[in-house]
């Protein structure tokens, strides 16, 4: 993988804010992150938005049912190369090809692929250190995704065992947790004392959310040829692993609050953990496809809104009242 280079950028003191186009792309391509990213203050909000959208581009290529395995590998390689050596002209060429032959039927994802140049234009205005973190970690995920795609059969993705599932979750989500942690540490030097603990727990933060999504979406994924739940592994074992990872993710959020990460970062990390706990409870009761109701979502967000200014998010995360 190439070391990511940095396009010309304005001085650090230049104000950065998330462009409306990227906000719209976020709303069209995300469920949870569209709710959580607005908690963040600028410029971290813009950095995380750019990162999310770039990770989503890689996800869209990996999941594209209209592409052959060889085509997916070629697209992932091009995208990884672009992350290492950002080039607006190359981003425009990729976007134009995806416009002519969309790799996805999802309207929001298709627009995301067409707007790749706009994402790179915004990335050019980010703090260079933040951009290097985003580009390097997105490239890591893209590279590891390609390894899983390369071994997939004609029938689609199939994971072998629990260790293979954990390796996949690290590739597509654990790395995200690591990247977010480095962005938080970059934004908040006051978190230095907590850095070792946060870095230790960061992969589980991402992996927990991915495991819950895999359990929730397993029926839909199987219908599209993606079998993330390994044959021969009891579903209960995956649920137990998700709960253990969520416990670690809870500890991660509590440490952020205790060390003064600020309401934005704490809210951004705590909300998906709260939603994941509630979703996992629903899935354990009702099976794949079960979701948190709008009323439950409203309750969780209201409780978080009260806990944030009071510094009580840790207590909320640990509360047994989160069980559905």
Q: Which range is least confidently modeled, 188-192, 210-214, 290-294, 304-308?
A: 290-294
Could you tell me the pLDDT band of residue 94, with boundaries at 50, 70 and 90?
A: very high
16-35 average pLDDT score:
95
Q: For residue 198, which of 139, 248, 130, 134 has the smallest C-alpha distance?
A: 248
Residues β-bridged to residue 227: 158
Percent of the chain with pLDDT over 70: 93
Q: How far apart are CA 38 and CA 55, in angstroms?
A: 18
- The number of C-alpha atoms within 13 Å of 134 and in the hemisphere containing its C-beta is 29
Which domains are delineated in the chain? 19-151 (1.10.600.10), 155-324 (1.10.600.10)
Q: What does DSSP assign to residue 225?
A: T
pTM score? 0.92
Query: What does the pLDDT read at residue 15?
Result: 61
Query: What does the pLDDT read at residue 65?
Result: 84
225: left (phi over 0), alpha (psi -120 to 50) or beta: left
Looking at the predicted structure, is the pLDDT value of residue 10 above 60?
no
> In this predicted model, which residue has the larger pLDDT, 3 or 81?
81
Taking residue 306's Cβ as centre, other Cβ atoms within 10 Å add up to 12
Query: What does the pLDDT read at residue 123?
Result: 97
Q: Using the CB atoms, write b or e for 56-76: b if 16+ within 10 Å.
A: bbbbbbbbbeebeeeebbebb
Q: What does DSSP assign to residue 156?
A: B
Looking at the predicted structure, is the pLDDT value of residue 11 above 60?
no
Query: What does the pLDDT read at residue 145?
Result: 96
pLDDT in tens, 128-164: 999 999 999 999 999 999 999 999 876 678 899 999 9
Looking at the predicted structure, is the pLDDT value of residue 323 above 70?
no
17-31 average pLDDT score:
96
- In 3-state terms, the chain is what percent helix, strand and coil (to 5)? 75, 0, 25
Contact 44, 266 (CB under 8 A): no
Report CA torsion sign: 256, 261, 262, 266. Answer: negative
Looking at the predicted structure, is the pLDDT value of residue 5 above 90?
no
14-40 average pLDDT score:
92
pLDDT in tens, 181-209: 999 999 999 999 999 999 999 999 999 99
Query: What does the pLDDT read at residue 157?
Result: 81
Chain centre distance of CA 275: 15
Q: How far apart are CA 20 and CA 17, in angstroms?
A: 9
Helix axes 44-63, 263-286, angle to 10 degrees: 30
Query: What does the pLDDT read at residue 154?
Result: 65
> In this predicted model, which residue has the larger pLDDT, 223 or 194?
194
pLDDT in tens, 55-80: 999 999 998 988 899 999 999 999 99
């Amino acid at each position: 993988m190439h070391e990511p280079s940095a396009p010309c950028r304005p001085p650090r003191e230049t104000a950065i804010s998330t462009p409306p186009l990227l906000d719209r792309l976020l709303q069209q391509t995300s469920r949870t992150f569209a709710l959580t990213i607005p908690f963040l203050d600028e410029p971290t909000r813009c950095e995380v938005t750019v990162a999310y959208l770039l990770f989503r581009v890689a996800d869209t290529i990996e999941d594209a049912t209209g592409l052959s395995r060889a085509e997916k590998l070629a697209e992932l390689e091009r995208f990884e190369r672009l992350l290492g050596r950002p080039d607006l002209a190359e981003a425009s060429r990729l976007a134009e090809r995806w416009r002519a032959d969309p790799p996805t039927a999802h309207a929001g994802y298709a627009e995301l692929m067409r707007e790749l140049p706009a994402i790179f234009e915004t990335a050019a205005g980010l703090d260079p250190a933040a951009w290097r973190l985003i580009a390097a970690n997105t490239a890591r995920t893209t590279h590891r995704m390609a390894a899983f795609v390369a071994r997939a059969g004609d029938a689609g993705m199939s994971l072998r065992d629990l260790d293979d599932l954990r390796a996949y979750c690290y590739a597509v989500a654990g790395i995200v947790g690591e990247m977010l942690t480095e962005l938080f540490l970059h934004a908040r030097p006051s978190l230095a004392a907590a850095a070792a603990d946060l870095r230790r727990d960061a992969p589980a933060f991402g992996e927990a959310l991915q495991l819950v999504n895999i359990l929730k979406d397993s029926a839909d994924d199987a219908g599209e040829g993606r079998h993330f739940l390994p044959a021969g592994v009891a579903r209960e074992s995956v649920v137990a692993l998700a709960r253990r990872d969520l416990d670690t993710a809870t500890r991660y959020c509590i440490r952020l609050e205790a060390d003064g990460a600020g309401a934005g970062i704490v809210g951004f990390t705590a909300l998906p953990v709260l939603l994941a706990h509630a979703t996992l409870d629903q899935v354990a009761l009702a099976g794949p496809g079960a979701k948190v109701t709008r009323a439950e979502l409203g309750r969780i967000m209201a409780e978080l809104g009260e806990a944030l200014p009071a510094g009580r998010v840790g207590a909320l995360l640990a509360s047994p009242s989160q069980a559905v």
